[in-house]
Structure 1
C-alpha cells in the first residue's frame, strides 16, 4: 500500500536532517564519490582503495529492498559488503522514525506491482513460472558460475568467494538474497544495472546462456533467483583444472564421453567407474566394482582437481537421484527357479571390454559378468553383456531433457 503523505514527508525531512547524501549517491546528489578522486590526487597510494571507500548508492533503494531489509540496513544489523572500508554511523532512531524513513524510500522509489494499479492498466510481467526444484538446482548451479552469467566472478555465494580482482568488481553476498531484495527489482536490475546506478561495474544480462532451459532468458533468470534463495546452496567450486562436459545443443552432434579414472562422489571414491556423459548433459555413473548404475545427474560430467599431489575427478553436476538398488540390476533364473546373482571376480563384479559411439550421441559398451546361484558355489556362468545408453531429446531443437534411454 502507498504510505500516507505525512509519513513519507516526515521521512524525507529526516533523510535531509541525517545528511545521508553527504556520503551516499541518490538522484542528482553524487555523495562522497564526487570528492574521493581529489583525495586520490593528493594521496596516490589510495587509488586502489577508492571502491572500498565509496558508500553504496541509494538510487532505487526503496524499490530494491524489502521494508524489513531497509530497517536492518539503517540499523547496520548485518554487513553484506565486508570489503567496504567506509562505515555508516549508528543513528539513535526510534521505531517511528525508522518507519518514516522506510515510507519515504518506498513512496519515492517503489514501482507499484500490478495489483496496485487501476484495473484498466496492464503491465507485462517479466517473471517466468516457478521452476521445479530439480531443474533449479541443475540449471541455476551452472548459471551462477563463469560458465553461465558469472555471478561468482564478483559475488560471494555460499562458501565460494570470488577470485582476487579489483575492488570495483566486488559485489555483495548473494546467498538468500530474497530475504533482502524484492523480486521485481531483481528482474529490472539484472537486465540493465547502469540504468539504475550509473557507471555500475556489473554487466547487463541481455542474452541467454546457450543450451540451458531452452535458451529462454526469463526462465534462466528465474532459475538464478530460485537457486540463490535455496537454503544451503553451494555453487560448484571454482578453478577446476579441466571440465568434462557436453553442450546440451543437439545441432552440434557431439558424441558421448566416457571417463574411467578415479572419481569422487561426495565423500566416497569410485576406484573403477564408468562415467558416461551424454550430449544432452545427462550423465550416468556405473560402479564396476559393484556392477550396477549408482547415479544419474544433469550438468557437467566431471571436473578435475588436485589435492596435494593427488589428481582426481569429481562429479560435475547435481544428482537427479542416487540409484542404490537393494539387489543387482541383472540376475538370471534357471529352469529350477533358482536366481543366479553376479559375483565378484577379484575386486570387481565387471570390467569394460569395449565401447563404441552411436550415431544418436549414445554409447554402446560390452562387459563380462559372472553369475552364481550361491556366493560360495562352484557353479558359475560368465556372460557377455552389451548395453546402450542414449539421449532423448525434446521436439525443440537444442533443448536437453531429463531423460535417457538404456538398453
Structure 2
C-alpha cells in the first residue's frame, strides 16, 4: 500500500493527462488491495465489494488440520497476503488449548446486557466519555491545557459529557440518536471536541441502547428516595398507563399562565437562577465559566425523561460527582405557596411550553425595569422590538407603561394601537452594536389588539372592510396623576395620554382631524371574592368636528374588542357610547369608550435584586491647562449627553440611557455628589434646557418649581414637576417629523433665543433612498418651533447660541466632505447634504463658517459659548466644542466679514493620546459628548462637563 501511495505521488508530478490516467489506475489497484487484505475485518469501509469479506475466513469450532498454514504460523507465508503475522511473543499453545476445549461444549449465547457492555468497550465509548469514574478525557484535557497555550484555561471544553445514568436520562429515541452521534442541534456547542457519527448495525444499536436502559433506568413508578414524594399533580397530568412518559403525552397539557409565571420566577435570578448558566431558546447567558455552562433547557422534554429531571435537580452530585450545578431541594418563597413539589413540576412544564419566555437576566441587559407593589407607574418612550408572535419588527414611536399591579402595555403612537399587554416584569433594554432597543419582559397576555382602535367607517356599515385608518398620529401630551378609587384601599396612579389622528377620506382625500384623550388606570388585583383579577382600564374620549358632507358618509368608529390571547385566562371588554344622531346645531361631536383588560393571575411574590452602583471616586483631572479639574463622585455607569443649569446653580443633565437627572451638592463642598432622577425612559436624549421661573413653552405658562425642555429622538418634550415631588408629571410634546427605528435619527439641541423661541436639529435620512416620503418629513433640518429654518444638514449634532442670538451648528465629516464643520445658521440656507425627499435638491450650498480638519477631529458634537461671567472676560464670546473620538475640547472664535461668517479653531484641552490613559476631562469615555450643547450652560466661575469641574 505504501509503495502504491508513493508511486501515485510520483505519477502526479508528470504531465497532466498522464497523471490522470495513471493516478486512476493506482487508485483502483489500491482499492483492490484493501479488499483483498481484509481491511474491512477491523475497519469501516465504504466500498460495496468489501461486504463479501465480512464473513469469517474459517470455522474455528472445527479441528485445524495444519496450524502452520493458519494465523498462528510462526513464519510468514508470502503467498497468503490476507493472513496477519503475530510474531514470536504470542502464546500459541494457550490459544490452541482454548479452541480445543470449546469443541465439545456448546457455548451459551451472551446476554444482551453482556454484549452491550462489550460493545461499549469495543466501540471505544470510554476512550472519550467517563462512566462511573472509568475512562474519559479528564486527566488528558488538564495536561493538554497545561502544555498547549492555545488551550490554556480551556480544559473543560475538551471533556465530553459523562455517560453516568444516560439510560435513565434520555428517552429511547433520544438515546438511540445519541449513541449514533446524530444529535441535532448540537447540545454543547462550546466543546472543542466532537463525537463522530457511528454506523452501527441495527443489532449493535439495539444492544447498546438496551444495555444503557437495563443498567441505568429507574422505573417510572419507583418510589422517591428519602421518603420524599415526586411532584404529583402536574406530573400525573402527563403520565401514561405504561408507567413511562412519551413526547406526545408530555405535550398534551399546555402550561397555563400561572405555571408560566411560576416558571419565570423559578428560572430567574429571583429563584433558582437557571438563566445564569443555561441557554433557554433565544436567550443565552453571557460570561459563563466553561465548566459551569449548561445546555439549552427549552423543550427538554423532547429528549429527557421527567423522572430523571426531578432526580437530577434534587441532587446533581448524586448522579455525576463533581458536577458544577447546585441542588434545588429548597422551595422559593412566594411562588406556588412555597410548595417544592409544585415548583419542580411547574419548572418542568414551563420549560416544555413552546411559548415560554425566559425571565430577564439583569447581567445580560443594559436595563431591566420592574414596577413593584406601591410604586408609581413607569413610562418608556424608546424604540421597542416586537415579539415573534407579531412577526418581529419594531415600534419606533412608542408609549409603554407599567403599573404596580404587574400589568404593562405597549402603545404604538404611529398607528394609535395597543400592540402588547403583558404581566410580570415590565421591560428590558438591550444594546447590539450601535442599536439600542427595548423589549416587553413580562408574560404575553395578548398581542396586536385592534378592537379599540379609532377609525372612520361608512355610515350603516357593519364590516371593517372599508374602514379608514389614520394616516398620521400627532402626540400632544401625557401625564401621571394620583387618583383614588373606592374599590381600592389606597390612592392609585393614573396616566393621561392625548393625541391627534389625521384621516384622508376618498374620493377627494379630504382631511379629518380627530382628538383623542385617554385615561389609563390599573384595575384592582382581586375581585369581590378575593380571587386574582387584575388588569388595566382605558377610558377613551374622542372628539371631532363636522366637515362639510363627510359627516353624511362616515362616522368615527371604535369597534368591538378583538384580541389574540397567548395564555388563556384573559378578558378584554369594550363598552362604546356613540352619538345616535348628529344634531344640526353642533359642530363638534364626541364619543367615549371604556376598555378593560383583565386577567385572573397572581403575581409571584419575589424581589428583583438591584444592580450595584459603582460610585466614581473624587479625583484630580489635568486635561485642560490652566484649570483645576475634579472628577465628580457620581454613578460611573451613567452615559451623559447634554447638560444645563438652573439659575440657582442646580445641574440638570440627560443620559443616553433615557434619563434626566438633577445633580446637587449635598455637603456644600462645591462638588455635585447627589443625583435625583427627574424623568426616565426617553429615546436617546441628546440635550436639554433648564427653564427658569415661568418661562413660556408651547405658548403656555407653567409654575413648575423645576422644569426642563429635552430633545429626544421622536420629540422635543417639556417636563414639568407640578406637584413639587421632584419627578416629572406633566409632559407637553412638540413633534410631527418623520421618525423610524434608524439609530442615527437624533434630535439635538434645544437652544432658546432671547424672544423665547426654541430651536432644535433633526438628523438626515440621506442614506435611505427607499424611505417613504411620509417618514422623511423635516429630516436633516434645523427647526424653530414647528417650522424648518435651515436645510440639508447631515447630522446637526451640536447647537449653540450666543448673546447676539446667532446660532451655530456642528456637523460631521462624510459625503465627500473631509472636514468637521461649525456652521453659522442662516435662515433658508442649505448646507450640502440633501435629505432623501429634500424639497429643493438643487439649492446652492452654504459653506461652513469653520472647517475643522480630519483626522485631528473626527466628531465634534456639543457646542457652547462662554458668556464672560465665568471669570475669564477675555474668553467672552468664544465657543467650546466637544470632540468625541479623541475625547478632548476645542476652542473656536467667530468673525463676521461683510455678509460672511468665518472663524478659527484651536485646541483647548489635551487629547486622550496626550494624557496617555490618565483621567480625562471627558471622564470615563462612555459618554457620547463631553459637554452640554445648550446655551447658558456655564455657571459662574466654572466650566463643567459630566465628570469634571474645571476651575481657575
Is 1:246 aligned with 2:360? Answer: no
Q: Which moved more, 1:191-200 or 1:158-167?
A: 158-167
RMSD, aligned CA? 4.3
2:200 to 73, 87, 93: 93
**Paired position in structure 1 for 2:305:** 182
Pair 1:283 & 2:408 matched: yes
Decide whether the 8 Å contact of 2:398 with 2:410 is kept in 1.
Answer: no
Q: State the 1:290 CA deviation.
A: 6.1
Partners of 1:65 and 1:292 lie apart in 2 by 47
Q: Take 2:297 and 2:383, find their aligned partners in 1: how far apart are those partners?
A: 30
**Secondary structure, in 3 states, of the residue corresponding to 1:321?**
strand
2:187 aligned with 1:56: no
Q: Which deviations, in whole Å up to 9, do the C-alpha atoms of 1:254-300 show, x marking residues without a partner? A: 32422042341512315251x33233422234556666655321121
Aligned to 2:522: 389
Distance 2:149 2:398 in 1: 58
User: Could you say what secondary structure the match of 2:443 adopts?
Assistant: strand
Q: Aligned partners of 1:72 and 1:182: how far apart in 2? A: 15
SS of match in other structure, 2:525: strand
Contact 2:357 2:443 in 1 (8 A): no
Quick one: which of 368, 377, 390 aligns to 1:257?
377
DSSP 3-state at the match of 2:371 = coil
Q: Is the 8 A contact 1:25 1:31 kept in 2?
A: yes
1:11 corresponds to? 116
Give how far 1:11 is off: 1.6
Shift of 1:95: 1.1
Query: Separation in 1 of the partners of 2:414 and 2:144?
Result: 66
Task: Provide Cα deviations, 1:166-211, integer angstroms capped at 9, x if missing partner.
Answer: 3212233333322221111111112221111011012222344455
SS at match of 1:364: strand
Looking at structure 1, the residues matched to 142 and 385 of structure 2 have their Cα atoms a distance apart, in angstroms, of 51
Residue 298 (str. 1) matches residue 412 (str. 2) = no
Measured in 2, the distance between the counterparts of 1:369 and 1:166 equals 50
Does the CA contact (< 8 Å) of 1:178 and 1:229 recur in 2?
yes
Partners of 1:82 and 1:261 in 2: CA distance: 38
Unpaired segments ≥5 residues, structure 1: 248-252, 331-342
Q: Whose relative contact order is higher, 1 or 2, with alpha carbons under 8 Å and at least 6 apart? A: 1
Q: 1:340 maps to which residue?
A: none
SS at match of 1:199: coil
Choose 1 or 2 for highest CA Rg. 2
Is 1:164 aligned to residue 256 of structure 2? no
Q: Which runs of 5+ in 2 are unaligned?
A: 1-109, 235-252, 387-392, 456-468, 540-952
- 1:67 maps to 172
- CA offset digits 1:229-277 (Å, max 9, x no partner): 3447664676221111135xxxxx432422042341512315251x332
Please, which of 476, 481, 502 is the counterpart of residue 355 of structure 1? 481
Q: Which moved more, 1:286-295 or 1:307-316?
A: 286-295
Please state how far the C-alpha of 1:51 moved relative to its aligned partner: 1.0
The superposition leaves residues 334-374 of structure 1 with CA deviations (integer Å, 9 ceiling, x where unpaired) of xxxxxxxxx99x94477434422766584223456889xx9
Cα distance change, pair 246–214 in 1 and its aligned pair in 2 (3 A): farther
Give the TM-score, by structure 2 length.
Answer: 0.35
Structure with the higher fraction of residues in helix conformation? 1
- Report the TM-score, using the length of structure 1 for normalisation: 0.74
> How many corresponding residue pairs?
377
The answer (yes or no) to whether the contact 1:291–1:349 under 8 Å persists in 2 is no
For the structure 1 residues 378 and 322, does the alpha-carbon distance in structure 2 shift closer, same or farther, using more than 3 Å as the test? closer
Secondary structure in structure 2 of the residue aligned to 1:305: strand
Q: Which residue of 2 aligns with 1:337?
A: none
Cα distance change, pair 15–85 in 1 and its aligned pair in 2 (3 A): same
**Which runs of structure 2 are paired with 1:1-400 in the superposition (5 Å)?**
6-29=111-134, 31-37=136-142, 46-78=151-183, 79-114=186-221, 124-129=229-234, 132-141=255-264, 143-146=266-269, 148-231=271-354, 235=358, 239-247=364-372, 253-266=373-386, 267-269=393-395, 271-273=397-399, 275-286=400-411, 293-306=418-431, 309=434, 311-322=436-447, 324-328=449-453, 347-348=473-474, 351-356=477-482, 360=490, 362-366=492-496, 386-393=519-526
Q: 1:281 to 1:212 in 2, by over 3 A?
A: farther
Aligned to 1:93, the other structure's residue is in SS state: coil
Q: Determine the C-alpha separation between the residues in 2 that align with 1:54 and 1:95.
A: 29
